[in-house]
Amino acid sequence: MKPSNLHLYEEELANLQASDNLRRLPQALHRGREIETADGVMLNLSSNDYLGLAADAGLRSEFLRLLTPENLLFTSSSSRLLTGNFTVYEEVENLLADLFGAESALVFNSGYHMNTGILPAVSNARTLILADKLVHASLIDGIRLSAARCVRFRHQDYAQLEILLRKHHAEYERIIIVTESVFSMDGDVADLARLVSLKHRYDNVMLYVDEAHGVGVRGRRGLGVAEEQGCVADIDFLCGTFGKALASVGGYVVCRRPLREYLVNRMRTLIFTTALPPVNLEWTKFILERLESLEERRERLARFSSQLRRALHGRGYDCPSQSHILPIMVGDSHEAVRRAEEMRRKGFYVLPVRPPTVPEGTSRLRLSLTAALTQEDIDRLIINL
Ligand SMILES: *Cc1c(COP(=O)(O)O)cnc(C)c1O
């Protein structure tokens, strides 16, 4: 028998276990705003279904009535570049472009495909990427796959960003500033208007914004933080996912027409993969058509978020959140695991977030609220914090 190096992996797993950083795939059944695991039925406070659309059976019934064997297609059988470009793809892209008042939009299989595909496609060795220190792993992977040089600036430290721009703008063909709008782990919100004004100082600087946690939730029409801050038209790559508040699957970018055409020619995670099944695009279109009318849900979520934020501050917790994502900072991974278990015993499905998802020493409980919760749920949660 050949010697196996399996034990090397097993040792590493044992180390992860010892430091309480071992991950498992949790089993769970979804029951509206609740979740059922081996520990029982709990209020789901770890969901990305921010508007409660995924939990809404009425909405699904309405959608099902629109389906026929002709448009209920479970596969596209091909890349969009070959035979997979079904009409519904362009319907969704035109709808997005109309909603955002933009020239064009392009849809991807997931937010992960979007972030790992766009940056390598639009940059080269004469590109500098300036990325916020806390951007999502998918953006880090996109940066790693690109030929660009990258410098990470301290989280939301735009004074440092300004210095980097001044220092480097003449050395590179282009600079791309990369940020999230609502940060996925701290729940704080980028000052996009300030980033736009920094960008406009130089003619070779572009802005890339990932609205994964902003779209659907923020802005009067639900278009995200860029809408809220009035800078949709100033963002070169306005990206988001359909997988969270919009209760579907896929990613998108809203951009100028030449950029879309360039991506179609150069973006490997668009070109070399089978496109999403058309039925998923039908559902995305169904949701997007209703996006503007979901204002009541957005208001409700904002109300719950500020109630919980006030309560956390009142208890002396350091909570940087300005959104529906509310971390309870714990620091130590063991303590975060223990505190999350305690919350679950009380009937609240809360998960610890540990390294490498967050920096070493900043383990936390991550609460994400949804519009499917009730005022009684929030009151009960606050009493049990
Ligand atoms: C979830 C997430 C993604 C990935 O989107 P998927 O559609 O789930 O692949 C990208 N960026 C951020 C900031 C995210 O939180």
**Mean pLDDT of successive 10-residue segments in the chain (385 residues)?**
82 92 88 92 96 96 96 96 96 98 98 98 98 96 98 98 98 98 96 98 98 98 98 98 98 98 98 98 98 98 98 91 96 94 96 89 95 98 94
What's the confidence (pLDDT) of residue 359?
87
Of 136, 199, 285, 324, catalytic? 136
What's the confidence (pLDDT) of residue 118?
98
Q: Is the CB of 112 under 6 A from ligand 1?
A: yes
What's the confidence (pLDDT) of residue 2?
61
pTM of the entire structure?
0.96
CB 63 within 8 A of CB 286: yes
Helices H / strands E in the chain, number of each: 14, 14
Q: Is the CB of 110 under 6 A from ligand 1?
A: yes
The Cα-based distances of 40 to 32, 51, 169, 292, 384 in angstroms read 15, 24, 56, 36, 18
Q: Using CA atoms, how far apart are residues 39 and 142, in angstroms rounded to an integer?
A: 38
111 Cα: distance to centroid of ligand 1 (angstroms): 5
Helix (H, G, I), strand (E, B) or coil at 273: coil
- Closest of 272, 231, 280 to residue 252, by C-alpha: 280
Report residue 313 as tokens: 């501050």
CB 363 within 8 A of CB 331: yes
Of 180, 186, 211, 236, catalytic? 180
What's the confidence (pLDDT) of residue 356?
85
What's the confidence (pLDDT) of residue 4?
78
